[in-house]
Structure 1
């Protein structure tokens, strides 16, 4: 274990106390959530609509909104699981702390447009997100003109966030979870080969009529693929399976990962970046990345970001891949709010 200098530890403690002293009080009032459909394509041959849920805190709307992008085989419910929301809903938790969020179904997923799987690309996903960023700033979502927009991605959603932020330079911060630039290839290949199958074979999703180029998780496999045994609630995993499970275009996933993670495009991000991983995320840690300590992970990921990104990292102890649904997810949300306060100025 590499020890950090004493001065750094003292400074971190002082900064943490300052953040606690200035943090807004936790509200007991429920979040004000509403659903919206936004046109995100001007191509008349392929009109696209993105569906999302806006959650505002009680009282005066926050001037900053987090635009939430889920991972592969998830939908926007990843961010607002209908099981013990105080423990597992990122959106409800942020609203309770005075912060606004907008969670979207990515193209091909949930209630957003689901075209043929083969037409979806990383560039298409990023362009759709770019359109939503503009709508959030213009007041087209819930009538609120947001002054700052922060991208918050999970896994493949993190890769989309990287592509968008690096290409459009239209956001004020990027929060990435469940990713590194050098995945543990043997584990990922094993998960894909044994844990995924075409939606046409899935009893839960097949009735929606997706083509076989869309993949989803084999029934009952999410607990082993996305969670760590010592950091899960079996009922949360069941809710994940029932409500948050969705599909991903196989061809687009290869494109999104190839551009968003395997290429150096992240070097073009010029706003603050926060990277979060679970210490037991075997798909992205263990072989080329040491997620045991935040400092080690930061040193390993730093070459993929510019100085302007001011890369900061956090590791969630004991968590697997889906950090927002880990039993101790509240620690990651606390760290995220602290980062937002320090680097984005919410």
Structure 2
């Protein structure tokens, strides 16, 4: 073998040996993420098949899970916002505290099934989340969870409390955020629902081929969801980009639920969390809003809407609007919820 070739091979071997010696002892593959995508087969109330999508995050050893249900025009990203997760990710904080989370795309949103809009209703939202809870308890999604909490935001809270009242054995603890049983319907009607846009006319949703009952909202409408002192313009801009859908069926059946008050069937622990400056839920005179001056006052207001044995606690996050998890006070909201869940 030529001398030059031998020298090159020797040099390469030395370089490899030096690189191996120089490599730090901890240079092992990064641990796998505790989060994964799930797609659960479910059935609607008429037996039609559908799929509910979400992100399941399970810290090592976790046997408690919070099912996170977003509100109207949101998908699962509300709970794990793709901007400054150190501030705006509820899932990250919950997982760091050892609590598993399943953040859902509601029926008709995100990566979940988009059936005809007439089927995207509160009863079907309840039915699909109920089947999801059953899957978590039986291990159909992997781990078997012994405790399940429902944590909702806005319309997601309505789905959660109606589910708790309809299927009380599903729920070990209930957290509602951004909702009361006496919303400020005037503000909601004039500031949100009078500015709809059919999804078929929105370039973001037009490729989905949805029917006229699917609605989104125009860009710029998100400011009503925030309080000026605790909002980040970058969050509001991203929020507008991520806007999702609701349906006329969601709206009609929600109004019916206001009269039915299914939540009176639930007798477990409830935690009601609102922003002190929530223009959609707070107001001086019911039914044009609920009292939001203190957590105790809010809890006293909400208690008659649950079963006689329910324990209802409340919290008001000061200077915060409707979107608590997307406000700069989000860490305070998350800590309040996690502390309460640990006690229950």
TM-score interval (norm. to shorter): 0.7 to 0.9
**Residues 68 and 151 of structure 1 are in contact (CA less than 8 Å); yes or no, is this contact kept in structure 2?**
yes
For residue 308 of structure 1, give the secondary structure of its aligned residue in structure 2.
coil
TM-score (norm. length: structure 1): 0.85
Q: Which residue of 2 aligns with 1:202?
A: 202
Query: d(CA) in 2 for partners of 1:178 and 1:135?
Result: 27
Identify if the C-alpha distance between structure 1 residues 45 and 295 changes in structure 2 by more than 3 Å, giving closer, same or farther: closer
Q: Which residue of 2 aligns with 1:250?
A: 248
Pairing 1:25-40 to 2, within 5 Å after superposition:
32-40=34-42
- Is 1:281 the counterpart of 2:278? The answer is yes
**Residues 155 and 177 of structure 1 are in contact (CA less than 8 Å); yes or no, is this contact kept in structure 2?**
yes
Identify if the C-alpha distance between structure 1 residues 45 and 340 changes in structure 2 by more than 3 Å, giving closer, same or farther: closer
Q: Which residue of 2 aligns with 1:26?
A: none
Query: d(CA) in 2 for partners of 1:180 and 1:198?
Result: 27
**Residues 45 and 124 of structure 2 are in contact (CA less than 8 Å); yes or no, is this contact kept in structure 1?**
no
Which moved further from structure 2: 78-87 or 247-256? 247-256
Query: 55, 58, 71: which one pairs with 2:57?
Result: 55
Query: d(CA) in 2 for partners of 1:44 and 1:262?
Result: 23
What is the Cα deviation at residue 43 of structure 1?
7.5
**Residues 31 and 96 of structure 1 are in contact (CA less than 8 Å); yes or no, is this contact kept in structure 2?**
no
What is the Cα deviation at residue 191 of structure 1?
2.0
Pairing 1:149-228 to 2, within 5 Å after superposition:
149-169=148-168, 170-222=170-222, 224-228=223-227
**Residues 91 and 101 of structure 1 are in contact (CA less than 8 Å); yes or no, is this contact kept in structure 2?**
yes
What is the Cα deviation at residue 44 of structure 1?
8.8
Q: Which residue of 1 aligns with 2:335?
A: 334
Identify if the C-alpha distance between structure 1 residues 328 and 31 changes in structure 2 by more than 3 Å, giving closer, same or farther: farther
What is the Cα deviation at residue 42 of structure 1?
7.2
Structure 1: gaps of 5 or more residues: 1-28
**Residues 44 and 124 of structure 2 are in contact (CA less than 8 Å); yes or no, is this contact kept in structure 1?**
no
TM-score (norm. length: structure 2): 0.86
Identify if the C-alpha distance between structure 1 residues 42 and 121 changes in structure 2 by more than 3 Å, giving closer, same or farther: closer
For residue 277 of structure 2, give the secondary structure of its aligned residue in structure 1.
coil
What is the Cα deviation at residue 127 of structure 1?
0.9
**Residues 303 and 310 of structure 2 are in contact (CA less than 8 Å); yes or no, is this contact kept in structure 1?**
no
Asked which structure has the greater CA Rg, the reply is 2
Query: d(CA) in 1 for partners of 2:52 and 2:63?
Result: 22
Pairing 1:1-346 to 2, within 5 Å after superposition:
32-41=34-43, 46-57=48-59, 60-141=60-141, 143-169=142-168, 170-222=170-222, 224-243=223-242, 245-259=243-257, 261-287=258-284, 288=286, 289-343=290-344
What is the Cα deviation at residue 45 of structure 1?
6.2
Identify if the C-alpha distance between structure 1 residues 138 and 93 changes in structure 2 by more than 3 Å, giving closer, same or farther: same
Runs of 4+ residues deviating >4 angstroms? 42-45
**Residues 42 and 131 of structure 2 are in contact (CA less than 8 Å); yes or no, is this contact kept in structure 1?**
yes
Which moved further from structure 2: 114-123 or 148-157? 114-123
What is the Cα deviation at residue 30 of structure 1?
9.1
Identify if the C-alpha distance between structure 1 residues 42 and 241 changes in structure 2 by more than 3 Å, giving closer, same or farther: closer
**Residues 162 and 261 of structure 2 are in contact (CA less than 8 Å); yes or no, is this contact kept in structure 1?**
no
What is the Cα deviation at residue 104 of structure 1?
0.8
**Residues 192 and 221 of structure 2 are in contact (CA less than 8 Å); yes or no, is this contact kept in structure 1?**
no
- Residues 29-64 of structure 1 deviation map (CA, whole Å, 9 limit, x = unaligned): 99621001001117896211100101122xx23110
What is the Cα deviation at residue 193 of structure 1?
4.1
Aligned length: 309
- Residues 183-236 of structure 1 deviation map (CA, whole Å, 9 limit, x = unaligned): 1121011023443221122232223222221111101211x1211111111111
Give the superposed CA RMSD: 1.8
**Residues 90 and 324 of structure 1 are in contact (CA less than 8 Å); yes or no, is this contact kept in structure 2?**
yes
Identify if the C-alpha distance between structure 1 residues 43 and 253 changes in structure 2 by more than 3 Å, giving closer, same or farther: closer
Identify if the C-alpha distance between structure 1 residues 315 and 91 changes in structure 2 by more than 3 Å, giving closer, same or farther: same
